[in-house]
Amino acid sequence: MMTLKVNGREHQVDADPDTPLLYVLRDDIKLNAAKFGCGLGQCGSCAVIVDGKAILSCITPMVLLEGKQVTTLEGLGSVSEPAPIQRAFIEEQAAQCGYCIPGMMMRAQALLLKNSKPTDAEIRAALEQHLCRCGTHMRILRAVRRAARLMEAADASSTTNRSAQ
């Protein structure tokens, strides 16, 4: 039995420690935003964030994650209150089939957490290992840029609110 901290909650998981995180998320914790694409760490559809860094959950055994914070797309926002990255992808209509989008959003979120104003080249480099066959690449770039602006506005608003108190 292992304890995994996912989206701020602790989960007791009774699985082989070598089980890839993706299977634990989907089968044991019942979170299904991370997708199984290739199972080889080549497509990026299974990306999640661990301690602020995007990782591929299909090739990461859960034993490596004990004591670390795992964040999935479900942990960023909700349907009624989407996170800036989710809102931006919706507003830019960045998804077509949508299969790669959860992984792209998670890697973009990790990028924006460490670099709030990435250049197009930095966005492209961060998303380079993600495969998207639908051709929404330009909308995805616009969505990441929009998310950066939304996050900056949210940070400015929270700073203003704290100063007023």
**Entry pTM:** 0.90
Please give the Cα distance from 110 to 99 (Å, whole number).
19
pLDDT the model gives residue 95: 87
Contact 111, 142 (CB under 8 A): no
Indicate the range of 48-52, 68-72, 91-95 predicted with least confidence: 91-95
CATH code 3.30.1330.60 for 2-164: no
Indicate the range of 8-22, 98-112, 148-162 predicted with least confidence: 148-162
Place of tokens 């930095």: 122
Residue 93: how many other CB atoms lie within 10 Å: 11
**In sequence order, what DSSP letters do the residues of 97-147 get, joined into one string?**
S-SSHHHHHHHHHHHHHH-SS--HHHHHHHHTT---SS--HHHHHHHHHHH
pLDDT the model gives residue 30: 97
Sketch the domain layout of the chain as residue ranges: 2-164
Summarize the confidence of residues 63-71 as an average pLDDT: 95
Indicate the range of 22-31, 106-115, 155-164 predicted with least confidence: 155-164
Summarize the confidence of residues 22-28 as an average pLDDT: 97
pLDDT above 90 as % of the chain: 79
Both tokens of 104, joined, read 């792209």
